[in-house]
Amino acid sequence: MHGNSRGDILELIRRGGVTTRRHLSELTGLSRSVVAQTVAELIAEGLVAERAAARAASSRGRPTSALGPANRTGWIAAIDFGHRHAAIAITGLDGVVAWEQRVTTDVDGDAIAAFAIAGALLDAGLDRLGLRRADLTSVAIGIPHPVDKASGIVRAPASLPSWAGLSAPTQLGRGFTCPVLIDNDANLGAWGEYLHGAGRGTSSMLYIKVADGVGAGFVVDGTVFNGARGVGGEMGHVQVDPDGELCRCGRRGCLEAVYSSAAVRRRLSAIAPVAPGQPFEVTDATRPVFEQAGHAIGRVVAQLCNFLDPDAVVFGGPLGVVGEPLLDGVRAAFTEFGQVSAVRDVPVRTAALGVRSELVGAIDRAVQAAWAHPPRARNLATDLARNL
């Protein structure tokens, strides 16, 4: 429970399927009167449906009413920006993808151009489905930089002037009448894996995205923790080599400058060159490079585990999904640098969703926002937009 009884009750009904008022009261700790009032409001808004539950032959009295999500139609869009890619998906309110595309582009180099490309792709997808921007119920955007939670302003380093201070939701252009959400990509990747991937069934999960940047997302009991100002999880800027390469943040030897996917590609250039955007290939010759990278990254992650004590650690991103060679190095670092025996034995897994973890997390967030947006208010906003 996160202090929003209406939203929490709606999510329990939507994600859990059929339930009862009594069960909701037991799950949330809210009084039956509060649950009853909230459920009545959700039914009136067309978000929850009620029907009589089947009654056993031996039972007496009036059958219990069962609550479930109402049959709703609508569309959401999700956009995942990496340092070198943009992925866009359009789904129904059930989260089933109707259209998806991923392109390679220099996102870091020009934020405005990256948003223009994503907007054009989104419009192409909407056109393919016979839709317009005004038909969307919500949009979720993930970006590879910290985002201030209160203002939505991007906290990118000064070396990336097109991103620093950017208000991302305004960059997609006009035509939206729905909420536009924005979050850090590692947070969305963590959310995707926690609900739909390798983190399912855990109460706490640490997600590490190893791409051209290195970031972390931490989920505990259904809450993503990203710090007071949105910069939590920026582990890529932990210094691991004072004499190492210059990082985009302006300092030397940061983890992402030394062992990001781009840095590993440079190390592999003499063995088996890998072009940006192409998946890594594990061979006898390349395996030691991945193990070395895993050990360096694992040394930093071990310190996080000493402090956070997660149920599992999941590695995503282009380098993170390499699999066992990387994870072998991580486990060796855990054994060496984990200060608690339980930390040394923490399960280390590859992202089950592959490089789509962030996009799936964005889809889930957008669907959640769409359900939380009352249909009556949504329809009014759409009608006004079409009459302008």
Residues 211 and 340 in one domain: yes
pLDDT in tens, 144-197: 998 887 778 888 887 788 998 888 778 887 888 898 999 999 999 999 999 999
Looking at residue 63, what is its pLDDT?
Answer: 60
CATH code of 115's domain: 3.30.420.40
Q: Are strands 85-92 and 97-104 parallel, antiparallel or unpaired?
A: antiparallel
Residue 3's pLDDT band (cuts 50, 70, 90)? low
Domain boundary at 69, 96, 124, which? 69
pLDDT in tens, 25-71: 988 889 989 999 999 999 988 888 888 765 544 455 556 678 988 88
- Start-to-end C-alpha separation, the chain: 40
Residues 162 and 212 in one domain: no
Q: What is the mean pLDDT of residues 243-248?
A: 87
Residues 6+ apart with CB under 8 A from 239: 251, 252, 253, 254, 255
Compute the radius of gyration of the chain from its Cα atoms: 23
CA distances to 294, 301, 332, 342, 343 from 305, rounded to whole Å, are 15, 6, 14, 9, 6
Worst-scoring range by mean pLDDT, 147-151, 209-213, 353-357, 368-372? 147-151
Domain annotation covers residue 99: yes
Domain boundary at 69, 94, 124, which? 69
Q: Which domain holds residue 105?
A: 75-187+357-376
Residue 339's pLDDT band (cuts 50, 70, 90)? confident
The percentage of the chain sitting over the pLDDT mark of 70, rounded to a whole number, equals 91
Domain annotation covers residue 387: no
pTM of the model: 0.88
Residue 310: which of 345, 339, 358 has the closest Cα?
A: 345
Residues 223 and 324 in one domain: yes
Looking at residue 55, what is its pLDDT?
Answer: 55
Residues 80 and 216 in one domain: no
- pLDDT for residue 324 is more than 50: yes
Domain boundary at 16, 40, 69, which? 69
CATH code of 14's domain: 1.10.10.10
Q: In whole angstroms, what is the distance from residue 311 CA to residue 98 CA?
A: 34
Residues 85 and 22 in one domain: no
> What's the chain's average pLDDT?
87
Q: What is the mean pLDDT of residues 198-221?
A: 95
- pLDDT for residue 380 is more than 60: no
The DSSP code sequence of 279-332 is: PP---TTTHHHHHHHHHHHHHHHHHHHHHH--SEEEEEHHHHTT-HHHHHHHHH
Q: What type of residue is 77?
A: A
Looking at residue 382, what is its pLDDT?
Answer: 46
Residues 163 and 98 in one domain: yes
Residues 107 and 25 in one domain: no
Report the DSSP beta bridge partners of residue 224: 219
Residues 222 and 313 in one domain: yes
Number of domains in the chain: 3
Query: DSSP H helical segments within 65-136, as ranges?
Result: 111-128
Q: What is the mean pLDDT of residues 135-142?
A: 95
Q: What is the mean pLDDT of residues 121-129?
A: 97
Looking at residue 176, what is its pLDDT?
Answer: 86
